[in-house]
Chains A and B, each alone.
Chain A
Amino acid sequence: MAIQYWRRRDRYYRLVGSRCKDCGDEFFPPVYKCKGCGSEHVADKEMPRTGRIVTYTQLHEPLPGFEAQAPLYLAVVKLDNGARVLTQIVDSPDDSVRTGAKVEATVRRMRVDGESGQIIYGYKFVVRS
């Protein structure tokens, strides 16, 4: 498990996505090919860490490995550059988790591989009113 996530640590810790060198469109997750203009000249770029909630849900039946975090909020967040991220929303009062709410990225534990395995870290977002 750890290796699959290790490979993506800059994406998970720093929101490294893609920027199209031809049209300037930015994407997260990163793309192989620009979805705007079709160019293959894309390069890594750190995404802005703030955006707004497009839609959200509170999940009551978590996936294996996420039991301790239930119930958990998930949201589609549109970052300030237009890129869209699927993320957990944490540390935010229930009534603040709303469509249109401003959010900011943070780094949290995503899951832990048992008592002796590695701890996987990644992005989650917090509502900033």
Chain B
Amino acid sequence: MKSRAYVSSVGLVPVGDHWEKSIVDLAVEAARGALKGSGKRKPDQIIVGNMFSAVGAKQEQLGALVASALGLAGTPAYKVEAACSSGGTAFNVAYNLVRSGAIDSALVIGVEKMRDLEPEEISGALAMAESAEYTQFVGASFAALNGLLARYYMEQLNVTRDELSAIPVIDHANAVTAAHAQFRKAITPEVVGRSAMIADPLRLFDCAPVGDGAAAALIVNDSAASGSKRRMAEVLGGRVATNEFSIFEREDMLDFKSSREAFKGAMSQAGLVQKRLSLIEIHDAFSVVGALSLEAMGFSKRGQGSKDAKAGKYARGGELPINTFGGLKARGHPVGGTGMYQIAEAYLQLTDQAGKNQVEGAEYAATQNIGGVDTTSAVHVFGRAA
């Protein structure tokens, strides 16, 4: 018994250094935002997307913990983990449950507490997304893998430093007016190109920052949606895909297969062609990852992702606006939370609640959330609810 699925409300915690808030505080704050106005009706299911609460907060069993904190003990609840794509993947589980008819509604929360750790501990936690035996073992951080990828991209496809800087520049421009963004300051390509070296050739401004955050959404089916006065966005399609685990094992490191397959799957489920999309929230944890994502999903030709960004194609007002609230670089990247921020942002756009960041007349929006270096991808496609 297949059902339609809708996002009926969202909650967002501004991304940043939340010294006073624990992982549960963050999750509860986002969840309350999403539950506000839902009255006495409780979600049938709670799913928490999170990457490293065990390391970052010495806490597991987040599902039950958050449910209990929300006064919803008794509700089925668990955590879904897929590194940085934990949020998007958690949403995908909820979407499939609702769509299949198994449940009427679910509360999905993406949350990460990063700032309780020292910077090198955060690097260590993020590295856990990659092979303990062959990546962490040799001392390769997550940034290092992306540095390897960036050099390969630039050398093989003749991409310049300036071109690589284009996506971070777009992110920062979009974040200026985004209330929940971590860095609301515009930057120039020169700022990116002169920032501190992290993993040559990647510099500080090529890399998403560290931050705490949580975002939540309530996903409902027709019956739960009926009678609601809320503005809704319909979930038209969603797919999770995976690639060969480590980039160095892949025949072509520059082919983001999981993003390609997830996007293709979600779009075909939605019955949409690419050009119908009004915007896309992409997973640019590093500038090069943003460029390769755009190429994998077919918006740019091979080697053209950064070049197209530099030419204005992906700016607000361009052919296909990306990262309309700042993306991972400027809105911020609380890793397990990121996928849910993207979904909340797509919802805001399709329900005309994006304020100064509104993409006028947005009809369809997509979100692409990656774990690892394109190792897991969760793509969802949304439309205005009829």
Q: Which residues of A contact B (CB under 8 A)?
A: 4-5, 8, 11-12, 27, 29, 35, 54-67, 69, 72, 74-76, 84-88, 99, 110-111, 122-124
Closest chain B residue to A110, Cβ basis: B137
Chain A to chain B contacts (Cβ below 8 Å), 21 pairs: A4-B133, A8-B133, A27-B249, A29-B131, A58-B147, A59-B140, A59-B143, A60-B196, A62-B123, A63-B136, A63-B140, A64-B124, A65-B139, A67-B120, A74-B139, A76-B152, A86-B135, A86-B148, A86-B246, A88-B138, A111-B139
Interface size on B, residues (CB 8 A): 40
A58–B200 touching, CB < 8 Å: yes
**Bound CA span A12–B149, Å:** 24
Closest chain B residue to A76, Cβ basis: B248
**Given A58-B147, A86-B138, 7 other A-B residues pairs in contact with their CB atoms under 8 A:** A4-B132, A57-B144, A59-B198, A61-B119, A63-B120, A85-B248, A86-B145
Known A60-B197, A74-B144, A86-B246; contact A66-B155, beta-carbon cutoff 8 A: no
From residue B254, how far is it (CB to closest CB) to chain A in Å?
10
A110–B148 touching, CB < 8 Å: no
Known A61-B123, A63-B124, A76-B248; contact A88-B151, beta-carbon cutoff 8 A: no
Interface string of B237-262 (1 = CB under 8 A from A): 00000001011110001000000000
B134–A86 touching, CB < 8 Å: yes
Interface string of B214-252 (1 = CB under 8 A from A): 000000000000000000000000000000101111000
B138–A87 touching, CB < 8 Å: yes
From residue B96, how far is it (CB to closest CB) to chain A in Å?
28
**Bound CA span A84–B247, Å:** 10
**Bound CA span A75–B248, Å:** 9
A55–B140 touching, CB < 8 Å: no
Residues in B whose Cβ lies below 8 Å from that of A75: 148
Q: Which of A60, A64, A124 contacts B120 (CB 8 A)?
A: A64
Residues in A whose Cβ lies below 8 Å from that of B137: 5, 12, 110, 122
Q: Which of A4, A5, A54, A110 contacts B139 (CB 8 A)?
A: A110
Residues in A whose Cβ lies below 8 Å from that of B140: 59, 63, 74, 86
Residues in A whose Cβ lies below 8 Å from that of B244: 35
From residue B25, how far is it (CB to closest CB) to chain A in Å?
27
**Bound CA span A59–B140, Å:** 8
Closest chain A residue to B120, Cβ basis: A64
Known A29-B134, A74-B148; contact A69-B248, beta-carbon cutoff 8 A: no
